[in-house]
Amino acid sequence: MNSVAAVAVIGSGKMGEILAAGMVRAGAFRADQIFVTDASEQRVAEVVDRHGFRSPGGNLAAVGAAGIVLLAVKPKDVAQVLEEIGPGLGDGHLVISIAAGITTAFIEQGLPQGAVVRAMPNAASQVGEGMTAICAGSRATIEQLETARVILQGVGPVIVIEESYIDAVTAVSGSGPAYFALFAEAMIDAGVTVGLPRSVSEQLVAQTMRGTAALVTDGGMQPVEVRSAVTSPGGTTAMAVGELERAGVRAAVLNAVQAAFDRSRVLRGPSS
């Protein structure tokens, strides 16, 4: 069998499993149209048992059973996997790679046939609220890029970008959940410091983050508008924001994103 109506997930780690489950949840594929592989046979068994996916018995067999390949292995393992699956790929295959730092050109060099789309999802994909950026390799058609977009939107919104932006996307969106989580952690601890029970502080901070995001995404407000709407002259929020500004929060965020961007370029390496 070699049909676009099936997906081979090469690498069934956390993100591979999340994306595969999202495809099924969104109705793009049935569970029995997902073929999963992994270096760990135990991991494959767990994922198959949990979701009802199928295990074809190896990477090459999985590629032969599907028209779409989700490459979800660690960056260091990409070259070896490409060598293994290359003989099983034809012109009609679509390879979607989520391997951080690995360019479409590098993947195309390792595959004699098949189109490549590169994707950068983030951790919120686990709850269907991810943000994924995708870009096309030199062989990918507009139709194949759209296929990738439809598949990946099962875990959240998808945007199409130029590949030159991928390192910046990694720094802002790929790493972004950690930045917000760190700020939330600090706010929860601060709430406890001023007398709140930890469980109450956690609930307050989590819902405040959710509500603020909704004001921007659903309410159509710019972040600066949200801040201005909450900040009354001489009020409690003004005092708090003043302290954050004096602590250099803006500069710290800029420095953090720049550091992530620089690291992403280093991980890309000269060979990719």
For 117-164, the pLDDT digits (tens) are: 999 999 999 999 999 999 999 999 999 999 999 999 989 999 999 999
Does residue 90 sit in the same domain as residue 208?
no
Does residue 61 sit in the same domain as residue 120?
yes
Give the pLDDT score at 26: 86
- Angstrom distance (rounded) from CA 120 to CA 166: 7
Does residue 183 sit in the same domain as residue 244?
yes
Please name which of 159, 133, 140, 128 lies closest in space to residue 27, comparing C-alpha atoms.
Answer: 128
- Give the contacts of 45 (CB within 8 A, at least 6 positions apart): 55
Give the pLDDT score at 4: 58
Give the pLDDT score at 272: 58
In the chain, the number of structural domains is 2
- Angstrom distance (rounded) from CA 240 to CA 101: 38
Give the pLDDT score at 187: 98
171 is a domain residue: no
Give the pLDDT score at 269: 63
2 is a domain residue: no
Range of the domain at 193: 176-267
Average model confidence (pLDDT) across the chain: 93
237 is a domain residue: yes
How far CA 82 is from CA of 18, 102, 104, 113, 214, in Å, comes to 22, 12, 12, 11, 41
1 is a domain residue: no
Does residue 114 sit in the same domain as residue 205?
no
Stretch (H or E) spanning 7: strand 7-10
Stretch (H or E) spanning 8: strand 7-10
Does residue 150 sit in the same domain as residue 244?
no
Residue that terminates a domain, selected from 130, 162, 194: 162
Helices (H), the chain: 14-25, 41-51, 59-64, 78-85, 104-110, 142-152, 166-169, 176-193, 198-217, 223-230, 236-246, 249-268
Q: What SS3 state is found at 96?
A: strand
Does residue 224 sit in the same domain as residue 195?
yes
Mean pLDDT (whole number) for 92-121: 94
Q: How confident is the model at residue 100 (pLDDT cuts 50, 70, 90)?
A: confident
Checking if the pLDDT of 56 tops 50, the result is yes
Q: How confident is the model at residue 264 (pLDDT cuts 50, 70, 90)?
A: confident
Checking if the pLDDT of 1 tops 90, the result is no
Checking if the pLDDT of 248 tops 70, the result is yes
35 is a domain residue: yes
194 is a domain residue: yes
Give the pLDDT score at 30: 94
Does residue 129 sit in the same domain as residue 184?
no
Here the CATH number for the domain that contains residue 223 is: 1.10.3730.10
272 is a domain residue: no
Does residue 213 sit in the same domain as residue 242?
yes
Q: How confident is the model at residue 2 (pLDDT cuts 50, 70, 90)?
A: very low
Residues of the chain with pLDDT > 90: what percent? 88
Contact 260, 170 (CB under 8 A): yes
135 is a domain residue: yes
Checking if the pLDDT of 3 tops 60, the result is no
Three-state SS string over 204-253 comes to HHHHHHHHHHHHHHCCCCCHHHHHHHHCCCCCHHHHHHHHHHHCCHHHHH
User: What is the reported pTM?
Assistant: 0.89
Mean pLDDT (whole number) for 16-34: 93
Here the CATH number for the domain that contains residue 86 is: 3.40.50.720
Checking if the pLDDT of 270 tops 70, the result is no
Q: What SS3 state is found at 112?
A: coil
Does residue 197 sit in the same domain as residue 257?
yes
DSSP assignment, residue 189? H
